[in-house]
Each structure stands twice: as structure tokens, then as C-alpha cells.
Amino acid sequence: MKIYIETYGCQMNEYDSEIVRAVIAAADMESTSDIHAADVILLNTCAVREHAARRVIARIHEIHHLRRDAPALIGVLGCMATNLKKNLPKRKKLPIDFVAGPDAYRRLPELIRAATTSDEVPYDIELSDYETYADVYPRREGGINAWLAVMRGCNNFCSYCVVPYSRGRERSRSPQSVVAETQRLVAEGFRQVTLLGQNVNSYRHEDVDFAELLRRVSEVPGVLRVRFISPHPKDFPLHLLKVMAGHPTICKHVHLPLQAGNDRILKLMRRTYSKKHYLDLVEQMRSIIPGLALSTDIIVGFPGESDAEFEDTVDVVQRVRFDSAFIFKYSERPGTLAARKYPDDVPEAVKTERIVRLNEMQRQISTEIFSAQIGAVQDILVERQGTKKSAQQSQGRNDANIMVILNSATQVPGTMVRARIHDATAHVLKGKALDD
């Protein structure tokens, strides 16, 4: 059996696909990167916005068509799986053969076998309060960065968000298992570990909180950089900021989802902080961690968001001056609190206007922030020799996770080089290694 897997959505899904590859290998099934050669085609899906879900549906039909002369089994994994149950009887409209939710990957070989022998659509979309796959060592593709999920699920129930429904409740794996995996990663040549969780800083295992976990991982010999995504602003105690400030291997970068800047909208979103809270937190972070880079997620056009309320978001973006921002139009997700209570009443044209305005503003800010780095000397963790544009360059990232193009190909992936920045755009920096 040859299995092909395609991944949509966030880094947690990337990681889960690596878990799936490990489960498949343990069942003596082979992975292939050739969709035409596959007996089984897995789509690891995202449900966070309607657009993501629609893309997957279109892709299922496309694959079905592509393999019409030699049909393969098509399986749906991940966040869309959970919602498919209701629609299974209508499967004639959607040519899928089995479904496995985010907590059912251990049963994949069984589901695949069942799908080969049955006309039914076998599925397991049960969500677990315990599954962390802590004992499954993911099949990573190599490289410099390794994803490592330390917690799964979410208890926040932000009103717009499908994740608590698609991925279930929060659960954390033991710090011992995280540290042991980090040690193994270093031995295999990985140099950066990115801790993952839907609310990564809500991590708690017995008396170990996220700050303590981060400290332990950052002290594993051979780890050059530790990152984490995505945190929630509600879980940034002072001692976490101090751990970040005091450990050189922990990157001085926080992705701090804002979502909205207006208190009424934040309340309807159930975000548990106000505009002032958020701004105060940013100030506190910057005073404890000098030079901290900040990025964010923003949703425009939440139900009922007025022009004046949107201006509060604009105001926060102007005041904080994020290094980068991902901005989304509100997308109603079936089953969420917002979908049940608040009509999606901001016209599409208004959402577009708002997203365009914020994107332009952010582009300007990013360009200014990056241009100000020209002349600075930064530590670049080299990722590869050669870039899309030239074999005579190498590519890496600075501490803030910004891509830096180095103007020689002599740098070795996995090493940290000091480089002087000499050029900047809104998305990349260019530099020259000091010893080049």
C-alpha cells in the first residue's frame, strides 16, 4: 500500500501529518510523494475559514477526476473531518472513502483496511481528552526546524472559532517526553524546535507550566533556537517573560493574536482581554524583553463591527507597530457561538475595504521596521545553500523569524552566522556574513 498525503492549514496540521507518516510506517505501509502512484490519498484538512474548507472540497473532486481511470482511496483527516459526520449519507456528492479526525490517527491503518473491503465510509471522529501522541515519534522531512506539539485542543471557545469543535479539549504531554524528543531531534541534526499548541502557553502538566517547559527545552544542549506558536494573550505571566528574557536560545519573538482592538467586539469574540490590557501587555513585554519582535492575527468584519469599532483595531496596529500581521475577513463557521448568535452582517465590500486598509498600513510599518535594521549585525540561522533566485546565495532566518538572504553560498545549513544587514523589503532582509 502506498500512501500519499497532502496537508492544509496550520503548523499543527504539518506536525500531525508527520505523526500520520509514523503511524503508517509502523503498519508497514509506504509513503509516496507521487499522487499518481498512491493507493491511498490522504488530505489533512483545515476548517478555520470557509475558504480553506472550500479549497479542500474542490481538491477532493479534482483528485477523484485525476484518478478516474485508476481510482485510489481518498481519506479526509484533520479539522474538517469532525464536521463531515452529518454529511456522510450525502457522500455520493463527495467522493471520499474514509474519515479520521485529529485524535483518531492511531486507527488509520484499520480505517484504510476497512475502506478497502467495505462500501460504507468508515470513520472515527471521536475527540479524546487524553490523546497527545507523546509516544509517536513523527516522521519529519529533515531540515533545521522541527515542530513539536506540546499540547493539543482548546478550551477557550472564542466565539468565531471552530477549533474547540474540530480538535476538542486541551491536554498537555509530559515535560519529560518533550525534553526527550528535543534531545533526539538535536542528535538528528535539527537546530531549532518550535513548540506547538492551539494555546501553547496554556500548557500545564501537573505542576509544570509553560514557562518551566520552555526553560527546560531551551537548556537542552545543542538547541540553537526555541520558538513557540500560538500563544493566547491571557497566559503571559511575568515569570514567563523573565524566562524568555533570560535564555538566549529562546527567540525574542512573540506571535500575539490581537483579533480586534475594540472592547465590545473583543467581548463578543470572548477573547477575555480589553484593548488596554493588550496594549499594557505589549508594553510590559517590551520592557522586559528589549528588542522583542511581535506579530499578530487580526479578524476584520466580525458581526456588528462598526466603522468606529474597526478604528480601534487600526489604532492598536498603529500603536503597537507589529513586525508583521496576518489579517483575515471574518468567516462564519457552522456550530460556533458567533454563527448561532450573531448574523454575519458586515458587507463583503466593507470587509474588503478594511482588510486592504490594514494590509497597506502593515506593509508600510513592516517596511519601516525592516529598513531600520539596515546596518545592524544579526545572528542568522542558516537554512539552505542556494535560493530560488541564485545558487550563489544562502538563506536563513534572524531571531525574529524574518527571512534573510545572504550573498554567498558558503554558509552551512544548521550553523549560526553573524551577518550585517544591507537591504530590506516588507518581507525579507538581505545581509552579508561578517566572515565572508
What is the contact surface with ligand SF4 in residues (CB under 6 A)? 9-10, 12-13, 46-48, 78-79, 162-163, 166-167, 198
Task: Give ∠ CA 195-196-201 in degrees, rounded to 5.
Answer: 85
Going by C-alpha positions, the residue among 223, 285, 284 that lies closest to residue 248 is 223
Applying CB under 6 A, does 378 fall inside the site for ligand 5AD?
Answer: no
Applying CB under 6 A, does 299 fall inside the site for ligand 5AD?
Answer: yes
For the CB of residue 46, give the shortest distance to ligand SF4 in the complex, in Å: 3
Strands (E), 9-97: 30-31, 40-45, 73-78
Applying CB under 6 A, does 202 fall inside the site for ligand 5AD?
Answer: no
Are 127 and 101 within 8 A, CB to CB? yes
Are 435 and 417 within 8 A, CB to CB? yes
Q: What are phi and psi of 433, to 5 degrees?
A: -65, 140
Comparison of 269 and 289: residue with beta carbon closer to ligand SF4 = 269
Applying CB under 6 A, does 297 fall inside the site for ligand 5AD?
Answer: yes
Q: What is the DSSP string of 276-329?
A: HHHHHHHHHHHHHSTT-EEEEEEEE--TT--HHHHHHHHHHHHHH--SEEEEEE
Are 151 and 198 within 8 A, CB to CB? yes
Task: Indicate the pairing of strand 151-152 with strand 324-329.
Answer: unpaired
Candidate residues 259, 262, 366, 398; the one interacting with ligand 5AD per rule CB under 6 A: 259
Applying CB under 6 A, does 12 fall inside the site for ligand 5AD?
Answer: no
Comparison of 160 and 190: residue with beta carbon closer to ligand 5AD = 160
For the CB of residue 230, give the shortest distance to ligand 5AD in the complex, in Å: 7
Q: Is the dihedral of CA 214, 11, 147, 410 positive or negative?
A: negative
Q: At which residue does the C-alpha cell 497532502 appear? A: 6
Build a one-symbol-per-residue string for 30-69: x at contacts with ligand 5AD by CB under 6 A, - elsewhere.
------------------xx--------------------
Candidate residues 215, 271, 275, 333; the one interacting with ligand 5AD per rule CB under 6 A: 333
For the CB of residue 252, give the shortest distance to ligand 5AD in the complex, in Å: 21
Residue 185: name its binding partner from ligand SF4, ligand 5AD, none (Cβ under 5 to 8 Å by kind).
none
Residue 421: name its binding partner from ligand 5AD, ligand SF4, none (Cβ under 5 to 8 Å by kind).
none
Binding interface with ligand 5AD (CB under 6 A) = 48-49, 160-161, 257, 259, 297, 299, 328, 330-331, 333
